[in-house]
Amino acid sequence: MSINISVLGSINLDTTYHITHIPLPGETLQVNKKTYAGGGKGANQAVAAQRSGATVHFIGAVGNDTAGKFMLETMGKENIDLANVEVKENEQTGAATILLDKNGQNSILVYAGANSLISHKQIVKAENVIAKSQYIIAQFETPIKATLEAFKIAKKHDVITILNPAPAAKISDELLELTDIITPNETESAFITGIKVKDQNAMHETDMYFKKKGVKVTLITLGSRGVHCSIGSISQLVPAHKVHVVDTTGAGDTFVGAMASILKPDFSNIFEAIDYGQKASSITIEVMGAQPSIPTREKVEQVYGKED
């Protein structure tokens, strides 16, 4: 039986400009190629979870435009439940402009569009869907007030909350108290806590910061070094899988969605779930584009073999 996951998040149409290097201030660069793909942190995480075998319910918004229609069709083909995705009149669908260099590193500009219009009323309408989920995942490309409301509903129904605080933003103690699992990267973690993740002592301080705020599990993604996990009295690095980097877009989102798709609600397989998420993420960065690069569970097992 698959895990039920609700995702509250962004839906974007990504435009990627392929260039030799990220431009310096005032520099003009020739673009080698321009490509389009489905994106948005929320949509990426939903696709990753669904492709790894979860049943996913999405809470979000698109504009009444061509991009919105395209994204609804794209996500519909993934068999993601879109009953709680609203089409906002007189608003554009969210968009991301990605500058991708020849080493696979990127810089991203995000336009929120319809994503910024997710309302309290829309979250309340989705209560039944949230209540029947094992997990709800949220990020910061949609209003933080909406996330707070969704997490309050989740706690009312004993649903585990996963917060991916990206892009980085200051988080209220109230929201952290409602967060079971937090998944920042090292830059986001430093922004939130004021502690630079530079050594083991700093990592321990960071773990303590989130623990004191009520977070049960802290997962700090460290790129090619892996994922630092703090749960209970255990603090451990789960190493990354080394691959050839083509495009890092969507790698963190793939990790979150794929990890959640196999995580047991009692967290008893947390390290296996982290490793699985990293395997899925490693495949993502070897392929161009956000959603087109997200692997299925079958693909992960084909590349890395089945778990015992």
Active site positions, annotated = 253
**Residue 214 exposed, middle or buried by CB count within 10 Å (0-12, 13-18, 19+):** middle
Q: Was 41 annotated as part of a binding site?
A: yes
Q: Was 173 annotated as part of a binding site?
A: no
Q: Was 230 annotated as part of a binding site?
A: no
Q: Was 44 annotated as part of a binding site?
A: yes
Task: Find how far residue 39's CA is from the centre of its chain.
Answer: 11
Q: Was 293 annotated as part of a binding site?
A: yes
**Over the Cα atoms of the chain, what is R_g?**
18
Q: Was 247 annotated as part of a binding site?
A: yes
CA distance 190 to 230: 16
Q: Was 60 annotated as part of a binding site?
A: no
Q: Was 226 annotated as part of a binding site?
A: yes
Q: Was 12 annotated as part of a binding site?
A: yes
Q: Was 186 annotated as part of a binding site?
A: no
* Residue-wise DSSP of 12-63: EEEEEEE-SSPPPTT-----SEEEEEEE-HHHHHHHHHHHTT-EEEEEEEEE
* Closest among 264, 263, 292, 297 to 280, alpha carbons compared: 297
Q: How many helices (H) and strands (E) does the chain have?
A: 11, 13
3-class SS shares of the chain: helix, strand, coil, % to 5: 40, 25, 35
Do 249 and 108 contact (CB within 8 A), yes or no?
A: yes
**Residue 131 exposed, middle or buried by CB count within 10 Å (0-12, 13-18, 19+):** middle
Q: Return the structure tokens found at 72.
A: 């609804």
Q: Was 232 annotated as part of a binding site?
A: no
Q: Was 222 annotated as part of a binding site?
A: yes
CA distance 285 to 279: 10
Q: Was 224 annotated as part of a binding site?
A: yes
Q: Was 40 annotated as part of a binding site?
A: yes
Q: Was 257 annotated as part of a binding site?
A: no
Do 57 and 81 contact (CB within 8 A), yes or no?
A: yes
Feature table: binding site for substrate: 12-14, 40-44, 141, 253
Feature table: binding site for ATP: 185, 221-226, 252-253
Feature table: binding site: 12-14, 40-44, 141, 185, 221-226, 247, 249, 252-253, 284, 287, 289, 293
Feature table: binding site for K(+): 247, 249, 284, 287, 289, 293
